[in-house]
Structure 1
């Protein structure tokens, strides 16, 4: 297989989502125990409900049956990314400015690898986060290529 399963699925699902005025957040193809799961996370400006997920699942399932890119039996799951949605694309970071985020880096920055705070800005290569250290606000700049994973963070006050 020259293309990864996730790439093929992205190519199949993006036209479906465009037609429905939705966006693709992420695609995962993972083995858990003895079972394979193909997970497609979708969102839209108005949010996503169970009907939306069912509709996309049905349309995508038809396309997957035609192309048949996966040699194993698998479970297809289409869902919303939830409140702690991952930040993967440049546009995800741009939309998250002003929101609480959780960022984990590959290597320490200022002696830390985990940062949680308000995403202050994003210039395409640097993520700037305002974090609270006890009672003091600190600004941290993190190069995007040093980020292992990032997501929106739910905070309780």
Structure 2
């Protein structure tokens, strides 16, 4: 996580949690003179558009005062959704047994993209099973990881 992302999390996490939501994670994507700050919130009863709007208004107020992003930016507040991005080792541990996609910041055994079954966490590594092989991927090298939703057929 970059220093900028750490600062943004320190400013926004207390706002999200103070409103009774779970701070799932954030993405900060600098794009020249128009950056994107995407904050994911969750709740055991789910998230709706009004929840996102409420959190967005509160975070906007804090960011206006603190001014951590010098350029113009777009703020998005969203539910993590079914294809949620995983940000922490704790989140990886919770989703053990799910299929995920992982993109690394640098190649591991000649590749940067992996897709397989999440087999848990060991120390600061993520265990991923692809076919008959288990890969031990260092957490600090994971650039992005996302759950692959399953839409099992429903009889009826």
TM over 0.5: yes
| 1:63 has 2:62 as partner | yes
Select 2:134's aligned residue among 139, 142, 146. Answer: 139
Instruction: Verify the 8 A CA contact 2:33 2:72 in the aligned structure 1.
Output: no
Q: CA deviation at 1:32?
A: 4.1
- Residue 90 of structure 1 contacts residue 124 of structure 1 at CA under 8 Å; is this kept in 2? no
Is 1:89 the counterpart of 2:84 in the alignment? no
In structure 2, the partner of 1:7 is: 6
Q: Is the 8 A contact 2:117 2:128 kept in 1?
A: yes
Question: Which structure's CA Rg is the greater one?
Answer: 1
Q: Distance in 1 between matches of 2:113 and 2:73?
A: 34
Shift of the 148–31 alpha-carbon distance from structure 1 to 2, 3 Å rule, reads closer
Q: CA deviation at 1:33?
A: 6.7
Corresponding residue SS for 1:82:
coil
CA contact (8 A) 2:28 2:37 kept: yes
SS in 2 for 1:25: strand
Provide the residue aligned with 1:42 in structure 2: 41
1:29 aligned residue: 28
Give the Cα–Cα distance (whole angstroms) in 2 for the partners of residues 142 and 6 of structure 1.
22
Q: CA deviation at 1:155?
A: 4.4
Consecutive unaligned residues in structure 1, runs of 5 or more? none
**Whole-Å separation in 2 of the counterparts to 1:123 and 1:147:** 15
Measure how far apart 1:125 and its partner are: 1.8
**TM-score, normalised with respect to structure 2:** 0.78
Match of 1:153 in 2: 148
Q: RMSD across aligned C-alpha pairs, in angstroms?
A: 2.5
Equivalent residue pairs, number: 150
